Amino acid sequence: MKIAVDLDDTLSVVDRVTRASGYIAREGLPYRLVDPDALRIADAFDWDAEEATKFVRAGGLAVFTEAEARKGARETLTAWRAAGHTVTVLTARQRDWFGNPSRLTRDWLEKRKIPFDEIVAEATDKGRYCAEHGISVLIDNDFATCAAAQERGVYAVLAVRRANAADAGKIAFRGASWAQIAETVSRIAETVGRRDRLLAAAPARRSERYDGWELRFDEWTGRRGNCVIPLNPSRRGVQEKLAAVGARYAAAGKPCRFLLTEADAALAETLRARGFRFESAVEWMRLDRIAEQRLADSARASDEPTAWREDYRAVRGGNCTRDVSRGGDRRVFVSLYEGERPVAVASGVLIGDEATLFDVCVRPDMRRRGYGRAVVESTLAACRARGATHAVLQAEKDNFAAKALYRAAGFYRVAEYFYLTDGAGA
């Protein structure tokens, strides 16, 4: 994941008041402090931008170049890069004050041993820069910057300070310390990563990309195969995109539906304002370790779905409309029998050492006899034999019987996603 981080007041502690007050006293200037929490020198005192520039040129630049790093900043950026994330220090520092803002920024970072991959100075529109360069997360202390980035689909994390605390609730993600920021970014990365693995395990028959959004179309009516998924930040305005995407789904005779996670709270608010309504919520569940176990005596496992589709039809009473031949590195199809009659089915898709379980179903007249637990455990055993060490699955949030079954098998809830729809074409 690509992460952008602001410098002044985000990575650093800028003490404008002490140095500027000393300058005013030394020069005998008639200015007074009006806002000790201001994030701009020109706003801290009752002077104008010209006087603030005079202060900077008279040595006030040390306010920034000698600022201390915030507690935990170095450790957090070090951990991000060790985890494989790239870090861009994105600063609005301009040449008129800083001369060579990139060099001064680099000197400050290196002196404090704060790691980074790239420095970009004079970034006046950080949200746009993130969108154009595929940066998913922006950490900044400026509320307006975070709000604008959030509008573009960037996961903006507001570094909360006294000056922006009143507006902090308007930004979906925030943290008052670097420990909180690190926890927030970790949550975003985990949520987005789970979503992406789920989608890779169950691709739609046809998909299109539109300015950072994936548009999924499938012949079957399942929600996951017919929805919009916000994958990357946007260059176009969200209202323009919604109009274009809505028209695309209307032409296909389908509702315009969005699959969203907690990381997409800002987009969800925009959609609700346009009349989109809640359709359903789905929980992700995880099993940390697949225990060594055997297939049930009446279970059959195969890597080929032809016979399994017939079993699925017999168990569920209809065709499996999902394209089970696609997705993941390896697939497994499990059927449980009573005599020669299939009574339960399930499938698994493997990506690396993670198995995703799908299609868990028991004949209605054979439920509450332990077949559900047996087919889940048999599918896990088949996945383990093919290299899986852990497993995930999804369950409708209000399907309490299914969730109880999965918990009994060792799964636990880790997150959820939800669908919003305009209802058209339904």
Alpha carbons within 13 angstroms on the beta-carbon side of residue 144 total 3
160, 294: one domain: no
Handedness of CA 78, 147, 10, 173 (dihedral sign): negative
Contact call for residues 336 and 307 (beta carbons, < 8 A) = no
Residue after which a domain boundary falls, among 178, 206, 241: 178
Q: What is the pTM of this model?
A: 0.82
Q: Is residue 104 part of a domain?
A: yes
Cα–Cα distance measured from residue 295 to residue 286, given in angstroms and rounded to the nearest whole number? 20
Q: Is residue 123 part of a domain?
A: yes
Residue with tokens 């029998």: 337
Handedness of CA 287, 227, 325, 347 (dihedral sign): positive
Q: Is residue 248 part of a domain?
A: no
In the DSSP assignment, the letter for residue 60 is I
Q: Which two tokens stand for residue 85?
A: 């994330």
Q: Is residue 80 part of a domain?
A: yes
Cβ neighbours around 351 below 10 Å, total: 17
Q: Is residue 311 part of a domain?
A: yes
Residue with tokens 């006294």: 162
What string of pLDDT tens digits covers the 426 residues of the chain? Answer: 999 999 999 999 998 888 888 888 888 888 888 888 888 888 888 888 888 888 888 888 888 999 999 999 999 999 999 999 999 999 999 998 899 999 999 999 999 999 999 999 999 999 999 999 999 999 999 999 999 999 899 999 999 998 899 999 999 899 999 999 999 999 999 988 888 888 888 888 889 999 999 999 987 667 888 999 999 898 888 899 999 999 999 999 999 999 999 888 889 999 999 999 999 999 999 999 999 988 998 999 999 999 999 999 999 887 665 667 777 789 999 999 999 899 999 999 999 999 999 999 999 999 889 999 999 999 999 999 999 999 999 999 999 999 999 999 999 999 899 999 997 644
Can you give the CATH number for the domain in which 341 is found?
3.40.630.30
Contact call for residues 344 and 374 (beta carbons, < 8 A) = yes
Q: 73-82 and 178-201 are packed helices; what angle lies between their axes, rounded to 10 degrees? A: 20
Q: How many domains does the chain have?
A: 2
Q: Is residue 87 part of a domain?
A: yes
Can you give the CATH number for the domain in which 144 is found?
3.40.50.1000
Residue 377's H or E segment, with its range, is helix 371-385
What is the domain extent for residue 339?
290-388
Q: Is residue 423 part of a domain?
A: no
